[in-house]
Structure 1
């Protein structure tokens, strides 16, 4: 028995030493069909963890709140723009981000909805225009139609409220921004009336410190309810300011 265990462990060791992940991206006919529309070319971007990586759970505890973390190793080339795509979602492009110099190297987290077993991928655009990709295969289903976590009265009463906190980490500040918004996907039902709730979500987000841009987001229906953004950045001067607009034309501005 002991010998069998040692042999089994030795079989697993090479994969672990090679840094293989539990849930690498899978071949995706959906992505093949949408690649040109999303990134403007039929050429498949290379996957290069020396430039950046994306981490997401192999199986989501909650398909409506799937954490995604995008990171870069020290010295990696700067990422200026990034498209976050969930292949199997009704609207696959979850969001498009731009990043300021203060966020390099990137360490950025957001939560998304995942509607079916799917690749979750990020396509980064570097300063020289090159595109690089990273991703994971996530087992989750029903995230886009999952009921909202609060009553409609509570949703309306708190919509647009923001919270922000800063901590220190590895010589940089780590900001966590939370915005109260249901981000209705258009696929959910009111739990009282059972009627479909129209899509209504934060569409534009801009975060700065002083005059220096930190990040912007142009989003669709796949960003989670009450979105949370965690981002490491070089300390700057002035307050952190947030400007958010939703699909109904509501505007919220907050300074921290």
Structure 2
């Protein structure tokens, strides 16, 4: 009887392993995107963003704490609409909305780059809202893990000394001289703690502390407004491509979650430089 029971158990195991009827199917991986569409975008309909907005990231990140991402507006010629807002969503991150980029109505910004933290293998979505209110979405899959909990690259003392230091650079794009497009780069010294990082000495979690609002103006006209979260990397770095408007100066104001305000102003360099 024992031998017969063993044979029956072995046969049952073979049937389960071979995918015979009655085998319990493996659970499908959880996809947070439908819930994010509901929670973040109020279930508004979204169209395929191909030809409207593009997202560029490495398929496998070298460092999950500083993953480069570039967003491009790619409206076809003759389309009179403009991209008003781009929302960057990292689906599997603890706080999925990484940043919301509001493009000024007269800024002609066509490309935005920054660096983000990736917590686990994930889809990353870029949702563009156009001036007519329509939403368009595109996505990319990124292999990275541990970025949100990775220790800060700089010591607490170094971060404190650099807190709020702003650098601003302007330069012409070498690949688009005929179009007159230029680039600007904004760098803010800030630890941008995610709240998931552990102090290596006390072994306590470091409270979240990050830049959550950045505004850049050309003279008095808004060029770009950024609402950031814990997914933006340490020392926020934003680079953008734009067409000069004839403005004489750039002005920046940034705020963090503890109420600090950081400001800077720079003369606009001539377009030919």
For normalisation by structure 2, the TM-score amounts to: 0.80
Q: Report if aligned partners of 2:59, 2:143 keep a CA contact under 8 Å in 1.
A: yes
Q: Report if aligned partners of 1:123, 1:132 keep a CA contact under 8 Å in 2.
A: yes
Q: Indicate which of 125, 129, 137 corresponds to 1:121.
A: 125
Mapped partners of 1:34, 1:234: distance in 2:
33
Residues 209, 30 of structure 1: alpha-carbon distance in 2 compared, 3 angstrom cutoff: same
**1:245 and 2:258 matched:** no
Mapped partners of 1:183, 1:142: distance in 2:
16
Q: Which residue of 1 aligns with 2:184?
A: 175
Unaligned runs of 5+ in 2: 1-28, 267-273
1:81-96 matches, within 5 Å, as 81-96=85-100
**1:109 and 2:113 matched:** yes
**1:50 and 2:60 matched:** no
Q: Report if aligned partners of 1:103, 1:231 keep a CA contact under 8 Å in 2.
A: no
Taking only aligned residues, the RMSD between alpha carbons, in angstroms, comes to 1.5
Residues 189, 79 of structure 1: alpha-carbon distance in 2 compared, 3 angstrom cutoff: same
Mapped partners of 2:263, 2:101: distance in 1:
19
Q: Give the drift of 1:220.
A: 1.2
Q: Which residue of 2 aligns with 1:18?
A: none
Q: Report if aligned partners of 2:73, 2:83 keep a CA contact under 8 Å in 1.
A: no
- Three-state SS of the structure 1 residue aligned to 2:171 is strand
Q: Report if aligned partners of 1:199, 1:221 keep a CA contact under 8 Å in 2.
A: yes
Mapped partners of 1:94, 1:197: distance in 2:
19
Q: Indicate which of 163, 169, 172 corresponds to 1:165.
A: 169
Q: Give the drift of 1:28.
A: 6.5
Mapped partners of 2:70, 2:139: distance in 1:
10
1:140-219 matches, within 5 Å, as 140-169=144-173, 170=176, 171-219=180-228
Q: Which residue of 2 aligns with 1:40?
A: 42
Mapped partners of 1:84, 1:114: distance in 2:
12
Q: Which residue of 1 aligns with 2:71?
A: 70
Mapped partners of 1:49, 1:106: distance in 2:
15
> Which is higher, the Rg of structure 1 or of structure 2?
2
Mapped partners of 1:167, 1:66: distance in 2:
23
Residues 41, 229 of structure 1: alpha-carbon distance in 2 compared, 3 angstrom cutoff: same
- Three-state SS of the structure 2 residue aligned to 1:46 is strand
Q: Report if aligned partners of 2:170, 2:185 keep a CA contact under 8 Å in 1.
A: yes
Q: Report if aligned partners of 1:95, 1:219 keep a CA contact under 8 Å in 2.
A: yes
Q: Report if aligned partners of 1:58, 1:139 keep a CA contact under 8 Å in 2.
A: yes
Q: Which residue of 1 aligns with 2:11?
A: none
Unaligned runs of 5+ in 1: 1-26
- Three-state SS of the structure 1 residue aligned to 2:36 is helix
Q: Which residue of 2 aligns with 1:233?
A: 242
Q: Which residue of 2 aligns with 1:135?
A: 139
- The alignment of Structure 1 onto Structure 2 pairs a total of residues equal to 229
